[in-house]
Amino acid sequence: MEYKNVLTVCPYCGCGCNFYLQVLDGELVGILPCKSHVVSQGKLCIKGWNASDFVISKDRLTKPLMKMKKNGKFVEISWDEALKVITEKLKQCSPDAVAVLSSAKCTNEENYLMMKFARAVLKTNNVDHCARLCHASTVVGLGKTFGSGAMTNSIGELEDADCIFVIGSNTTEQHPLIARYLMRAREKGTKLIVADPRLIPLTQFADYHLRQRPGTDVALLNGFMNVILKEGWEDKKFINERTEGFEELKEVVKKYTPKEVEKITGIPKELIMEAARIYVKAKSASIVYSMGITQHTTGVDNVVSCSNLAMLTGNVGRPSTGVNPLRGQSNVQGACDVGALPNVYSGYQSVADENIRAKFEKAWDTELPSQPGLTVVEMMNEAAKGNLKAIYIMGENPMLSDPDINHVKKALENLEFLVVQDIFLTETAQLADIVLPATSYAERDGTFTATDRRVQRIRKAIEPIGESKPDWQIICELARKMGSERFEYSSPAEIMDEIASVTPIYGGIGYERIEDIGLQWPCPSKEHPGTPYLHQEKFSRGKGKFFGIEFKEAAELPDADYPFILTTGRTIFHYHTGTMTRRTEALNRELPTGYVEINFNDAEKLNIFEGEIVSVKSRRGKIEVKVLITRRVPEGVIFIPFHFAESPANALTNSAFDPVAKIPEYKVCAVRVEKKLSLP
C-alpha cells in the first residue's frame, strides 16, 4: 500500500486555504487541513473539508463528446476527432465572430494560455470570465482611485485593525476562514460595523448594523464622509500629501447630510453619525467588501466611494487598513491578473497601448488585435443577434451564473458552434456541439492566486479520471492543431516562467520560490519578498484620486406590478452554480435545494406558509421555489441563492450593467411573488 499527503489549495473561495489531499494507492481518500498555512492555520470550512467528493463523482466527464445533428444526443468521440472538428470550425470564424470564456476555477497558467490562445491564435480580444460578474467593478474602481484593482492588505492583518467596516459581504458564509479573523479581531475589542440589507450571521457580532435599502451604498458612504468633513475629522496631512481631487469630493458629499441619507437608505441618521465616528476615530480601520456592493449598475461608484472614505481618513498604505475586496472563487484574482479580460493582457497591461502590444507581439511572435474585445454580457447579446458565431467556454456555466438566463439560452442556441471544456456535463455543456473532459484541481499542477494576491501552488495528487486532460494541455494541443508554434510547454512551471517574463507584477514569481509558502504580488524580481500591503509610500498610480460620486438608483425598482426587490447571493453550503458542491453528499444533506427568503409580514400579507412552493416572476422570467419565512430580509425584499438549477434565481435577474465595468445588477431587480396553489 502506498499512502501520501499532497499539499494543495482549496478549489472553492478566494481565502486560499491550504490542505492535504490524502491518496492511498492512487485513490483520493480524504482531506487533512494544513496547520502551517498562513491563512487557514489548520482550519477549513465545510466546503473545504468535503472538497474531494466531487473529484471522484460518477458524473465526471471521461471522454470527448459530440452532439449528433439528427437526434441532439451526445456520442463519445476520440480526442483527435474532437480537436479536428473544433479546429475546422474555429478556422472558419472571423476574429470578430468568435469569443472565449476563461475560468476562475482554472489555474493562472491555464487562464494565461486561454487568453494567449484567443489573442495570438484566434486573433480576437473577445476573452472574458466570471470576474465580470463578481468583481469587474473592483478592478475598475480600485484601478481608478489607487491604480491597482486588488485587495490592498493581507487577510491576517484584519485581526489587528481597530475598526472593520464590512459592507456587502456575508463573510461568515462566503469567506468563512476570513470571517475567523473578523471574529478574532472582535474578541480583541475591534469595533465591527456591518452594512447589509439582510440579517447575516455577521450582524450578530456587529457593534453597528446599518441596514440599508438595497442599492443605496453610495449614499451611505457619502453620508459617512459628510459627517467626517463636517466635524473636521478628515486626515488633512494624508489628503494634502498623497491624494488629488479632494475639492471635487467635498463639493459632492456636502449635500449627503445624515438626514438626507436616512431618507435614501432607511438607516437612522444617528446610527450613520455614530458609525462614521467609530470608523474615523480608529487608529487603523479596514474596509471589507464583496459582491453586495460590486454587483450593481453602480458597482464602480460603490467601490470608488469605499476608496474615497479610506483616503479621506488616511486608512490606506498601512497594515490593518485599506480597502479589501473579497474575491469569490479560488482563482478569480489570478484569472484577472493573467489577463483573461477583454481589454488587458497579463498584469493589467492595456491591449490598446501600442508599446505593450508590441511587447506581447514580440514575446508571442505574432501580430495581435488592438481593439478591446467583448465582455461576458456583450458576448451573449452579440450571439443573440447572430453577430457572434462561435464561443469556446472553459470551466464556466453561464446557463446558471449569468443574468437573465432565458436570454443566455437563446444566445447560446443561436451560435453556429459551441465548445465547452469542463469536468461535468453542466447546464451549459448540454447546449454544446463538442464537450471536452477536463481534469479537476486534484489531477493537475498549477497556481491559484488568493484574494490577498497570494500566488500559491496546487499540486497533482491523482492521475486524470478517464481520458480527461488538464486544461493547459488541451489548450496547447488545440493551439498546435490551429497552426501555432508558440504553445510548446513541458509543464505549468514553464508557463509560469513565461508569465513572469511578460508581467511585471508577477516578475519574481516562479515555482522554485513558492514551494512552501505563496508570494503576494507585486513581486517584480526574483529578489523581491512580495508585498503584504499596497500603496505604502505612494499609490500605484502615484497620487490617490478622489472622485465625487452622486447616488443613483438601481436600474429597476419595485412598482405596482413587481412590488418586491429581489437580491441574490450564495449560502455557506454551496458554491457558484453548484457544479461541484451539489455532487458532494455532506453539502447536499445540509442544503438539498433552493429557497426564497420572505419576511414574516410579507408572508402574512400574501397568505404564504413556510415550505410552500411559490412562483417568483420578473419581467424576464419565472421560477418556482420553496418559501423560507424569516426576519433575515426586511419587508419588501426577498433573497434567493443562485446555485440551484431547479429554481434558478438568474432567470429573474436583470442584465442591465454598470456602464464602465459592465458588471450586471444581480443585487436589485423587481419581482412579484405569487401563491401557486390555494390551500383548502
State the residues that interact with ligand SF4 by CB under 6 A. Answer: 10, 12-13, 15, 17, 40, 44-45, 47-48, 175-177
Q: State the nearest-atom distance from the C-beta of 314 to ligand SF4, in Å.
A: 31
Q: Left if phi > 0, otherwise alpha if psi is -120 to 50, otherwise beta: which for 305?
A: alpha
- Between CA 28 and CA 361 the distance in angstroms is 42
Q: State the nearest-atom distance from the C-beta of 178 to ligand SF4, in Å.
A: 7
SS3 call for 458: strand
State which residue, 253 or 450, has the beta carbon closest to ligand SF4. 450
Tell me how far CA of residue 606 lies from CA of 598, 617, 680, in angstroms.
10, 15, 15
State which residue, 316 or 580, has the beta carbon closest to ligand SF4. 580
Q: Grid coordinates in use for 138?
A: 473592483
Q: State the nearest-atom distance from the C-beta of 115 to ligand SF4, in Å.
A: 25
Q: State the nearest-atom distance from the C-beta of 18 to ligand SF4, in Å.
A: 9
Q: State the nearest-atom distance from the C-beta of 177 to ligand SF4, in Å.
A: 4
- Between CA 631 and CA 597 the distance in angstroms is 9
State which residue, 15 or 82, has the beta carbon closest to ligand SF4. 15
State which residue, 145 or 581, has the beta carbon closest to ligand SF4. 581
State which residue, 12 or 533, has the beta carbon closest to ligand SF4. 12
Residue nearest to ligand SF4 (CB): 48
Q: Grid coordinates in use for 272?
A: 450613520
State which residue, 10 or 377, has the beta carbon closest to ligand SF4. 10
Q: State the nearest-atom distance from the C-beta of 51 to ligand SF4, in Å.
A: 7
State which residue, 175 or 453, has the beta carbon closest to ligand SF4. 175
Q: State the nearest-atom distance from the C-beta of 33 to ligand SF4, in Å.
A: 8
Phi, psi of 604 (to 5 degrees): -65, -45
- Between CA 496 and CA 515 the distance in angstroms is 13
State which residue, 296 or 643, has the beta carbon closest to ligand SF4. 643
Q: State the nearest-atom distance from the C-beta of 253 to ligand SF4, in Å.
A: 36
Q: State the nearest-atom distance from the C-beta of 285 to ligand SF4, in Å.
A: 24
DSSP assignment of 260-279, as one string? HHHHHH---HHHHHHHHHHH
Phi, psi of 90 (to 5 degrees): -65, -35
- Between CA 50 and CA 397 the distance in angstroms is 22
- Between CA 446 and CA 342 the distance in angstroms is 23
- Between CA 505 and CA 274 the distance in angstroms is 40
Q: Which amino acid is at 554?
A: A
Hey, which residues does 20 pair with through a beta bridge?
A: 7, 32
- Between CA 430 and CA 44 the distance in angstroms is 33
Q: State the nearest-atom distance from the C-beta of 48 to ligand SF4, in Å.
A: 2
State which residue, 130 or 140, has the beta carbon closest to ligand SF4. 130
- Between CA 536 and CA 531 the distance in angstroms is 10
Q: State the nearest-atom distance from the C-beta of 571 to ligand SF4, in Å.
A: 12
Q: Residue 524 CB: number of other CB atoms within 10 A?
A: 17
State which residue, 296 or 327, has the beta carbon closest to ligand SF4. 327
Q: State the nearest-atom distance from the C-beta of 427 to ligand SF4, in Å.
A: 22
- Between CA 657 and CA 639 the distance in angstroms is 20
CB contact at 8 A, 435 and 422: yes
Q: How far does the chain reach from its first CA to its final CA, in angstroms?
A: 63
**126 burial type by CB count under 10 A (0-12 exposed, 13-18 middle, 19+ buried):** buried
Pairing state of beta strands 65-67 and 74-76? antiparallel
Judge if the upstream peptide bond of residue 522 is cis by omega within 30 degrees of 0: yes
State which residue, 17 or 28, has the beta carbon closest to ligand SF4. 17
State which residue, 45 or 391, has the beta carbon closest to ligand SF4. 45
State which residue, 49 or 360, has the beta carbon closest to ligand SF4. 49
Going through 527-665 in order, the beta strands assigned E by DSSP cover: 544-545, 564-569, 596-599, 613-617, 622-630, 637-641, 654-657, 664-665
State which residue, 17 or 565, has the beta carbon closest to ligand SF4. 17
Q: Burial code of 636-648, b = ≥16 C-beta within 10 A, e = fewer?
A: ebbbbbbbbbebb
Q: Which amino acid is at 586?
A: A
CB contact at 8 A, 615 and 624: yes
CB contact at 8 A, 582 and 593: no
State which residue, 129 or 175, has the beta carbon closest to ligand SF4. 175
Q: State the nearest-atom distance from the C-beta of 15 to ligand SF4, in Å.
A: 4
Q: State the nearest-atom distance from the C-beta of 17 to ligand SF4, in Å.
A: 3
Sheet containing 163-167: which strands, arranged edge to edge? 208-210, 191-195, 163-167, 285-289, 323-325
Task: Tell which residue, 450, 453, 454, has the closest CA to residue 150.
Answer: 453
State which residue, 575 or 639, has the beta carbon closest to ligand SF4. 575
Q: State the nearest-atom distance from the C-beta of 441 to ligand SF4, in Å.
A: 11
Instruction: Compute the residue count for the chain.
Output: 680
Q: State the nearest-atom distance from the C-beta of 642 to ligand SF4, in Å.
A: 17
Q: Grid coordinates in use for 75?
A: 456520442
Q: State the nearest-atom distance from the C-beta of 377 to ligand SF4, in Å.
A: 27
State which residue, 18 or 307, has the beta carbon closest to ligand SF4. 18
Q: Grid coordinates in use for 601?
A: 409580514
- Between CA 518 and CA 509 the distance in angstroms is 9
Task: Tell which residue, 415, 495, 369, has the closest CA to residue 106.
Answer: 495
